[in-house]
C-alpha cells in the first residue's frame, strides 16, 4: 500500500495505516493544510473552494471528509459532485472561488485516490506552493473556525452542462460541420465521469454516441490508463457498430485517445498532434508539449510556420512555458489537450470537439487522417534502482558521455539524434529511472531504449 506526498498533491491507496496509505486522517490533514494555505494568501471575509470528484468507489467518502474539513476552517464549498478535472478547473474562476480540489487518482487503478489542488485561476499549483502546503500539513498548525464562523456547502450539479456550453461556444468548434457529418462514435467512459460528460457533448454536437462502460460506478472494467493493450473491447465495438471511430478517456477526463474505424489506435501521442494541426490551420502560432512527447508536434507546428518548444514533464511546467511563449495550443503526449482559448488545463471535452471539427472539415476517415501525419514510434521503459543510489550522478555521467549531441537538461537528460531521441529522467516518488525513446520504427525505438538501459546499468554497476 502507498501514500505519496508531492508538490502536486497527495495520492495513495485507500485503507491501512495513517501516513502509509490514503486514510481519512490523511485526507483531513491535507485538506486542512490546503485550506490554511488559501487563507494565508489574502485576508478576506469569505473564502470559496470548488470540489468535485471522479466516480471512484472511495470518492464520496473522501469528498465528504475534504468538504467538511474546509467547512471547519470557515471556508464555503461549491460541491460539484461527480465531475471531471477540467470541469472543476473551469468552475473555479466562474464561481470567483479561491481554489479547487479534484478527488481523483487519474489513470491509477480503483484502489487509488488523490487530492489534486488548484489555485484561484483553476490551474494546478506550482512547486513552491505545493511545498508550502506539505510543510503546513507536517507542522499541525492549522487553526479551525469557531462555531459561528463555519463554512457552508452549496451543491451545484450543473457544471458539466456549463462546461459543454463553454466548449460549444469556442470559435474554432465547427458545430454545424460536425452535425452535417452524421458521425457515429463509440465511447469508453471506463465507468467514470467521462461516461457522463462525453456522450452529452456528442449529443449536443449531433453525433450518435454508442456507450461502452459509461455507467459511473467506479468499477473500472479494465486498466483505466487509455493504452492499446487495455482497449480490446473498444476495438471490437467500433468494428461491430460500424462506427466512424472510438473515444476513450481516463477516469477524470483530462486524457483523451482515439481509435480509428478499423479498431486500430490513432495513437495517444497523436491526439495533440491532430488537434494542433486543426488549430494552427485556423490561428497560426507556436506550440508546447513536454520533453517526453512525440516529435510529430514539432513537425506539424513547423509545417504551419510556427515554433515548437518542449517543457519539463508535468502539466504545470507545460502551462508555464505555454504562457511564456504565448502559444495557441499545447499539452502532453499522453492525450492531454491544453487550449488557452478555453482554459489552461488538459481537457478531453475540448479535444473531442476540436478533433471532430478537423474530421468534419477534412471529410476523411480517421485512419486516413492518421496516415497523413509523420510516423514516429515510442518506447517507454524504466530501470529499478537500489534505494540510495546516486541517480543524479548517473544522469550527469550520461550527460557527459553525450555532450557532443544536442542535449536538454531541464528535466533529466534528453538527447536528440538526427532521426530519434531518448529522454532519461528520475522518478520523484520511487528509485527508478524512466527511459523514453522515439524513432522511425518500433523496433528502432525499443533497440534504442535497450541500449540506454544497458549503459545505465553499466554506470550503476547493476
Overall average pLDDT of the 393-408 stretch: 94
Burial string for 321-336 (b: 16+ CB within 10 Å, else e) reads: bbeebebbbbbbbbbb
Q: Tell me the pLDDT tens digit for each residue of 85-97.
A: 999 999 999 999 9
Please say which residue of 350, 372, 394 terminates a domain.
372
Q: Does 94 share its domain with 16?
A: yes
Question: Known catalytic residue: 106?
Answer: yes
The model carries a pTM of 0.95
Overall average pLDDT of the 171-196 stretch: 98
- Using an 8 Å Cβ cutoff, are 101 and 118 in contact? yes
Per-residue pLDDT, 337: 98
Residue 91 CB contacts under 8 Å (≥ 6 apart), including other chains: 50, 52, 78, 80, 83, 97, 100, 122, 156, 159, 162, 163
Q: Does 12 share its domain with 42?
A: yes
- Catalytic-labelled residue, pool 83, 106, 289, 311: 106
d(C-alpha 257, C-alpha 348), whole Å: 9
Residue 118, beta-bridge partner list:
100, 124
Q: pLDDT tier at 429 (50, 70, 90 boundaries)?
A: low
Per-residue pLDDT, 428: 66
Q: pLDDT tier at 166 (50, 70, 90 boundaries)?
A: very high
- Using an 8 Å Cβ cutoff, are 27 and 55 in contact? no
Please say which residue of 156, 171, 203 terminates a domain.
156
Q: How is residue 336 written as a grid cell?
A: 492531454
Q: Tell me the pLDDT tens digit for each residue of 236-245.
A: 999 999 999 9
Residue 454 burial by Cβ neighbours in a 10 Å radius (0-12, 13-18, 19+): exposed
Overall average pLDDT of the 413-434 stretch: 88
Residue 445 CB contacts under 8 Å (≥ 6 apart), including other chains: 377, 378, 379, 420, 437, 438, 439
Q: Is the pLDDT of residue 1 over 60?
A: no
Give the 3-state secondary structure of residue 257: strand
d(C-alpha 48, C-alpha 39), whole Å: 10
Q: Does 334 share its domain with 355?
A: yes
Domain with 442 in it? 377-460
- Using an 8 Å Cβ cutoff, are 273 and 373 in contact? yes
**CB count, 10 Å around CB of 205?**
26
Residue 438 CB contacts under 8 Å (≥ 6 apart), including other chains: 294, 295, 376, 377, 378, 379, 420, 421, 445
Please say which residue of 105, 123, 156 terminates a domain.
156
Q: Does 340 share its domain with 404?
A: no
Per-residue pLDDT, 140: 82
- Give the count of domains, the chain: 3
Q: How is residue 9 written as a grid cell?
A: 498533491
- Using an 8 Å Cβ cutoff, are 421 and 414 in contact? yes
Q: Is the pLDDT of residue 7 over 90?
A: no
Q: Is the pLDDT of residue 214 over 70?
A: yes
- Using an 8 Å Cβ cutoff, are 46 and 39 in contact? no
Per-residue pLDDT, 4: 78
Q: pLDDT tier at 430 (50, 70, 90 boundaries)?
A: low
Q: Does 394 share its domain with 443?
A: yes
Q: How is residue 40 written as a grid cell?
A: 494565508
Per-residue pLDDT, 375: 94
Q: pLDDT tier at 218 (50, 70, 90 boundaries)?
A: very high
CATH code of the domain covering residue 443? 3.30.310.50
Q: Does 175 share its domain with 276?
A: yes
Q: Does 188 share its domain with 131?
A: no
- Mean pLDDT is lowest, of 94-108, 173-187, 344-358, 379-393, for 379-393
Q: Is the pLDDT of residue 235 over 60?
A: yes
pLDDT above 90 covers what percent of the chain?
90
Q: Is the pLDDT of residue 62 over 80?
A: yes
Q: What is the mean pLDDT of the chain?
A: 95
Q: Tell me the pLDDT tens digit for each residue of 293-343.
A: 999 999 999 999 999 999 999 999 999 999 999 999 999 998 999 999 999
Helices (H), 124-183: 127-139, 159-168, 175-181
Helix crossing, 194-204 with 348-362: angle to 10°?
30
Strand order in the sheet with 184-188: 208-212, 184-188, 245-249, 256-259
Q: Tell me the pLDDT tens digit for each residue of 32-54.
A: 999 999 999 989 999 999 999 99
Strand order in the sheet with 406-408: 377-384, 432-439, 421-426, 413-416, 406-408
Q: Does 94 share its domain with 127?
A: yes
Q: Tell me the pLDDT tens digit for each residue of 63-111.
A: 999 999 999 999 999 999 999 999 999 999 999 999 999 999 998 899 9
Q: How is residue 176 written as a grid cell?
A: 454545424
Overall average pLDDT of the 112-125 stretch: 96
Amino acid at each position: 500500500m502507498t501514500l505519496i506526498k508531492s508538490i502536486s498533491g497527495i495520492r495513495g491507496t485507500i485503507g491501512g495505516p495513517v501516513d502509509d496509505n490514503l486514510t481519512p486522517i490523511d485526507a483531513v490533514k491535507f485538506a486542512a493544510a490546503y485550506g490554511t494555505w488559501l487563507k494565508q494568501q489574502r485576508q478576506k471575509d469569505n473564502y470559496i473552494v470548488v470540489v468535485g470528484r471522479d466516480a471512484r468507489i472511495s470518492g464520496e467518502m473522501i469528498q465528504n471528509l475534504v468538504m467538511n474539513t474546509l467547512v471547519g476552517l470557515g471556508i464555503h464549498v461549491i460541491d460539484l459532485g461527480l465531475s471531471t478535472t477540467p470541469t472543476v478547473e473551469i468552475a473555479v474562476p466562474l464561481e470567483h472561488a479561491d481554489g479547487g480540489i479534484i478527488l481523483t487518482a487519474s489513470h491509477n487503478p480503483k484502489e487509488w485516490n488523490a487530492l489534486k489542488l488548484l489555485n484561484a485561476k483553476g490551474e494546478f499549483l506550482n512547486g513552491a506552493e505545493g511545498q508550502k502546503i506539505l510543510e503546513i500539513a507536517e507542522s499541525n498548525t492549522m487553526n479551525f473556525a469557531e462555531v459561528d464562523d463555519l463554512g457552508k456547502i452549496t451543491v451545484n450539479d450543473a457544471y458539466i452542462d456549463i462546461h459543454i456550453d463553454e466548449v460549444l461556444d469556442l470559435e474554432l468548434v465547427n458545430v454545424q460541420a460536425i452535425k452535417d457529418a452524421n458521425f457515429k462514435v463509440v465511447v469508453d467512459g471506463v465507468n467514470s465521469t467521462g461516461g457522463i460528460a462525453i456522450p452529452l457533448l456528442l449529443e449536443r454536437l449531433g453525433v450518435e454516441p454508442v456507450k461502452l462502460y459509461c455507467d459511473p460506478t467506479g468499477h473500472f472494467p479494465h486498466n483505466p490508463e487509455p493504452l492499446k493493450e487495455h482497449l480490446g473491447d473498444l476495438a471490437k465495438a467500433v468494428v461491430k457498430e460500424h462506427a466512424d471511430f472510438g473515444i476513450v478517456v481516463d477516469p477524470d477526463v483530462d486524457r483523451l485517445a482515439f481509435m480509428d474505424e478499423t479498431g486500430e489506435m490513432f495513437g495517444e501521442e497523436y491526439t495533440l498532434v491532430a488537434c494542433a494541426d486543426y488549430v494552427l490551420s485556423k490561428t497560426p502560432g507556436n506550440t508546447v508539449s513536454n520533453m517526453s512527447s512525440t516529435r510529430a508536434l514539432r513537425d506539424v507546428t513547423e509545417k504551419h510556420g510556427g515554433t515548437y518548444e518542449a517543457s519539463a514533464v508535468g502539466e504545470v511546467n507545460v502551462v508555464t512555458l505555454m504562457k511564456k511563449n504565448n502559444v495557441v495550443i499545447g499539452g502532453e503526449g499522453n492525450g492531454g489537450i491544453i487550449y488557452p482559448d478555453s482554459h489552461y488545463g488538459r481537457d478531453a471535452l475540448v479535444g473531442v470537439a476540436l478533433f471532430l471539427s478537423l474530421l468534419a472539415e477534412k471529410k476523411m476517415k480517421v485512419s486516413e487522417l492518421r496516415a497523413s501525419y509523420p510516423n514516429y514510434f515510442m518506447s517507454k521503459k524504466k530501470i529499478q534502482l537500489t534505494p540510495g543510489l546516486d541517480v543524479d550522478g548517473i544522469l550527469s555521467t550520461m550527460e557527459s558521455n553525450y555532450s557532443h549531441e544536442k542535449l536538454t537538461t531541464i528535466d533529466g537528460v534528453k538527447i536528440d539524434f538526427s532521426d530519434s531521441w531518448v529522454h532519461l529522467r528520475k522518478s520523484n516518488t520511487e528509485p527508478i529511472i524512466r527511459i523514453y525513446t522515439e524513432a522511425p520504427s518500433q523496433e528502432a525505438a525499443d533497440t534504442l531504449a535497450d541500449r540506454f538501459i544497458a549503459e545505465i546499468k553499466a554506470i550503476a554497476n547493476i
